[in-house]
Each structure stands twice: as C-alpha cells, then as structure tokens.
Amino acid sequence: MINYHMHFSNVKGMLQHPDGTVLKQLQPPPRGPRELNFYNMVFGSSCHDHVFLELRKFLPKFLGTWTPTTAPNELYLKLEDVTRKFKKPCIMDVKIGKKSYDPDASAEKIQQQISKYPLMEEIGFLVLGMRVYQFSSDSYMTYDQRYGRGLTKETLKDGLSRFFHDGSCLRKDAVAASIREVERILQWFENQNKLCFYASSLLFVYEGSPQLTAMGVGDAPRKLAAPKGTKRTGEVVEHNNNVHVMNSSESRMVEASVGQSLSNMYALHRKGCFKAHQSMVPLHLKNAEQDRSICKCLTLISPGQPNGNEIKQLEKDLMHTSSMLQEPPEVDVRMIDFAHVFPSNTKDEEYIYGLKHLISVLRNMLDD
Ligand SMILES: Nc1ncnc2c1ncn2[C@@H]1O[C@H](COP(=O)(O)OP(=O)(O)OP(=O)(O)O)[C@@H](O)[C@H]1O
Ligand SMILES: [Mg+2]
C-alpha cells in the first residue's frame, strides 16, 4: 500500500505501483465479484477455451488479488499497468456499447444511465476521459466526463480528434495504429458468442514523447481553444501517469541526438536539400501527404544563422520533425472494466455496433 499512489484520473480507487501494476479495489457486490470472476475465468490456469485464451491479449494481464496487511477486509485486483511502457502516455477511456446498464438493472438504474448520455444508443460509445500530452507546451490536457457527454453526432469527430492532437499537429500515425488495434478487438467479437459486455471500456494509450514515435503526420499546426470539461496541467514530470521519469543520462542522450539532427537538418536546409531529407523517410511514411507535412515543419526554420531563441524553437521543431523519421508509433488499446460482463449465446451486437462506429469516426479523421 505504501508504495502505491493514487492514479491520475481516478480518485475512486485505482492505485499505481512502480513495479508496473495497478490495483483496482473490488467494487461492492455484485459488480466487484463479477469482475473478479471474469478475470479468473479468462486467466485461470484451467482455462483452455480458445475464445478466452484469445481474449487475454486484449486485456491487462491479471496477476491475482491483493489485500493490504493493514486492512484484511479489502480486496484488490492486481493488473498490468497498460501505461507503464510509455514515457508520455496519452490515455483515453471510451465506454463501448449501446447500453451502459446490464440486463439485471432496475428501471431506476436504467433511467439514470440513459440520462447520463442519451445518445449512447445511437452513437454506441462515450468518451469517459482523456489525457493528452502537448508537445508544444510540455504539459498535459485533461478532459473529464463532462467533455465526452457534451459530444453529439456532429461534434464527435472533432471531439475525439483532440485525443490525437499534440498541440500543433494531429497524430495521424497514432490514429491509424489505433484503428488497427480496434479492428483486432472487433475480430474477436465477430467470432465469439459467449459473453456480452455492458459499460465496459477500451483504454487507448499512445506515446506522446517525440523521441520514440512518428509524429505530426499530415496536419498543419493550429491552436485549439479549451472546451468545457478540459484542463491544462503544468510541468510534465509530476503529471506523468507513468512512474518512469527520464533520468539524466537518458535526457543527455536525447539532447545529443537532437543536437545531431539539428546540425544535419540545418545543413540540409541551407543547401535547400528537402529532397535529400525526404529520402531518409522510411518507405511506410512515404506518401504525398506526409512529405507535405515534413515541408510544413521545415518551413518554420528561418534562413541564415539562427539566434539563441530561434535555436530553441528550431530544436523543438526538429525534435518534432525528425521524429517522423523513426519507428511506427507505440499504441496500445485494451479492454478494461468488467463489472457488467454477462454470459450469452449470441454475438454482442451492441458492443460490435459501438466498435464499428468508433472505427468509422477514426477513419474519417484520416481523410481530413
Ligand atoms: N490496467 C490498467 N492500466 C492502466 N490504467 C488503468 C488500468 N485499468 C484502469 N486504468 C485507469 O483507471 C481508470 C478507471 O478504471 P476502471 O474503469 O476499470 O475502474 P472503475 O472503478 O470502474 O472506474 P470508473 O467507475 O471511473 O469507470 C481508467 O479510466 C484508466 O484510466
Ligand atoms: Mg470504468
């Protein structure tokens, strides 16, 4: 207990440990025991059902239960921290399905759930919260439940695209990778008729740190106004969901590599060698749109010898731009929150509806 600290977004009991796990306190019955049974069934050593074995890869690993010695009546699920491997995790929780109440819900509960988001039936998903790393300001934007509930069919695409916006560019690379992940989950749902999921979520995580990922593909820099339900938090290190904080030797390596790319890029710029630069772009990034966006970033660099301020700006832009030349993005999409999973003998059409609609909204973002 001592080593756990409260999770960034959830004051209701998610605790995070530096060993790479989170603890979720069991909710009161029937929800908590239902979720525990679900995890036991899927991760139990006696489980040989291929449907459940397949499902494992879309869930956080379940590492059993945990009870603090000081509170022997409390029970927690010990789960893999999905955000652990990310330096600057951008996180979004999206509730999936047409209904966020289960078949056992009372009339009162049904009314309460519908009134929270009457569009759930039509839209099939609801953004519960987001936390987005802003490269340009080195801070996080957070979006709470009010933000998601304010989204309508008309504003859904823009609303969701905030999750992929780093303050100056839309991370189309992360959008595309997220689509692929959701499609894998959809495939599992198309092939199973054993379980129905109500009020369950997909947890999206992608790497916001520009050192690790392809960035800013295809969108012109633009500033975004802060809508209802959003908040900008301060300096990054404190607000990093991930316990890992870059140590000094890591940051020296980053500085060195930035310095290197800065001098390379600056030399290229002076020679007007945009073509030479583009030829360094890996094949999978090579298309007209991506080339255009590299040029957009390069045009931020002023000609001639830069002054001190310009060098700082230049470094930022180049970190941003040169990162487009690296690996495909790290993106993880996992199913979480299983307090309302029920046995079934049909496909979970309402969850599938939500997944398909979500995929189509994400695809539309790529078309802009
Ligand atoms: N395995 C995990 N790794 C990292 N973060 C997680 C994990 N599971 C949950 N979280 C974080 O904790 C939040 C709440 O998780 P979950 O929905 O399972 O709990 P809950 O008690 O049902 O909370 P709520 O009532 O708010 O939905 C998620 O939105 C996510 O940010
Ligand atoms: Mg939840």
Residue 26 pLDDT = 97
From 6, 116, 336, the mutation candidate for ligand 1 (largest count of ligand atoms within 8 A of CB) is 336
> SS3 sequence, the chain?
CCCCEECCCCCCCEEECCCCEEEEECCCCCHHHHHHHHHHHHHCCCCCCHHHHHHHHHCCCEEEEECCCCCCCCCEEEEECCCCCCCCEEEEEEEECCCCCCCCCCHHHHHHHHHHCCCHHHHCEEEEEEEEEECCCCEEEEECHHHHHCCCCCCHHHHHHHHHECCCCECHHHHHHHHHHHHHHHHHHHCCCCEEECCEEEEEEEECCCCCCCCCCCCCCCCCCCCCCEEEEEEHHHHCCCCCCCCHHHHHHHHHHHHHHHHHHHHHHHHCCHHHHHCCCCHHHCCHHHHHHHHHHHCCCCCCCCCHHHHHHHHHHHHHHHHHHCCCCCEEEEEECCCCEEECCCCCHHHHHHHHHHHHHHHHHHHC
Our answer on whether the CB atom of 15 is closer than 6 Å to any ligand 1 atom is: no
- Atom 26 of ligand 1 has which residue's CA nearest to it? 10
101-158 per-position pLDDT tens digit: 999 999 999 999 999 999 999 999 999 999 999 998 999 999 999 999 999 999 999 9
Residue 257 pLDDT = 31
344-356 per-position pLDDT tens digit: 999 999 999 999 9
Our answer on whether the CB atom of 126 is closer than 6 Å to any ligand 1 atom is: no
Our answer on whether the CB atom of 294 is closer than 6 Å to any ligand 1 atom is: no
Whole-number mean pLDDT of the chain? 77
Our answer on whether the CB atom of 35 is closer than 6 Å to any ligand 1 atom is: no
Residue 231 pLDDT = 75
Q: Is CATH 2.30.130.30 the right assignment for the domain spanning 5-242+329-367?
A: no
In the chain, the percentage of residues whose pLDDT exceeds 70 is 66
Task: Band the pLDDT of 230: cuts 50, 70, 90.
Answer: confident
Residue 233 pLDDT = 67
Task: Band the pLDDT of 14: cuts 50, 70, 90.
Answer: confident
Task: Band the pLDDT of 229: cuts 50, 70, 90.
Answer: confident
Task: Band the pLDDT of 212: cuts 50, 70, 90.
Answer: very low
Q: Which ligand is nearest to the CA of 93?
A: 1
Our answer on whether the CB atom of 95 is closer than 6 Å to any ligand 1 atom is: no
